[in-house]
Amino acid sequence: MDQPIANWGFETIYTRLRQKERRVYTDEEVAQLPSISPKHVHFKEWLVRKKSSQKLVAWLKRQKKPLDILEIGCGNGWLSKKLSTITGSRVIGTDINFSEIQQAARVFQNIPNLHFMYVNAAASVFKEKKFDIIVFAASIQYFESLTETISRTLNLLKPGGEIHIIDSAFYSLSELGPAMLRTRHYYESAGFPEMTRHYFHHRYEDLGNFKFSIRYDPRGLINKLLRNKNPFPWISIQPIH
């Protein structure tokens, strides 16, 4: 007999929800991501993620230097794999979803500069390790406090390092209430109301605590005129010295 949802941990709820949403992929599919069959239910979503990942990787390649990169919340590891194509890079992907991190390690096991760890983002895990680049891709919404999460993560950066956030929604204060309501209705209709406790809506205003740049802003007039379909900002954050 299945356990009541209220007794499940986040990993169990998240995995079962992803299975229902058809977001659990075969090893063969993961190896090809972000490319996926046009017939797949999430094809349009992957088009967005493909473009955002291409922009991030291209920008990092233009740095023309070896990079130590950490991806927090890497899931099945597809983006970490793309980041590992940067010349001289050393990439670590972390996640608290055991089944996905196992899959990532299995699918990309033959890439020598790419490693995966089943841990959360606690700075104590990397006491002796610092990074040039830390990436949150479609993962920052699972961290309750943006301010606390970014503050801890900044401690993991080398001098001149940056945090990059992509593929996650940010909201103005006026947008926050309706967005939270939509999320609650979605999880209730999907049969996973407990996920509401694990999904957090972050505000643009919260970035004011940090030195940040918005490299892509979906609210910008040019992007609206061009009808860019990516609804998620690309945000970079640097230490304040």
Tens-place pLDDT, residues 42-70: 999 999 999 999 999 999 999 999 999 99
* CATH architecture entry for 5-238: 3-Layer(aba) Sandwich (3.40)
In whole angstroms, how far apart are CA 147 and each of 25, 141, 199? 32, 12, 16
Residue 73 Cα to chain centre, angstroms: 6
Q: Which residue has the higher pLDDT, 91 or 120?
A: 91
Site of tokens 């089943």 = 118
In 3-state terms the chain splits into helix, strand, coil percentages (rounded to 5) of 45, 20, 35
Encode pLDDT of 160-213 as tens digits: 999 999 999 999 999 999 999 999 999 999 999 999 999 999 999 999 999 999
CA 99 to chain centre: 17
CB-based burial label for 239 (10 Å; 0-12, 13-18, 19+): middle
Give CA–CA dist 79/95, Å, rounded.
13
Distances (CA, A) of 150 to 99, 144, 153, 211, 233: 26, 11, 5, 11, 16
Q: Give 89-156 as a DSSP string.
A: -EEEEEES-HHHHHHHHHHTTT-TTEEEEE--S-GGGGTT--EEEEEEES-GGGSS-HHHHHHHHHTT
Looking at residue 7, its pLDDT comes to: 41
Look up residue 73 and give its DSSP letter. Answer: S
Classify residue 109 by burial, with Cβ atoms within 10 Å: 0-12, 13-18, 19+: exposed
Report the alpha-carbon distance of residue 213 to residue 237 in Å, rounded: 6
pTM of the model: 0.93
Residue 239's pLDDT band (cuts 50, 70, 90): very high
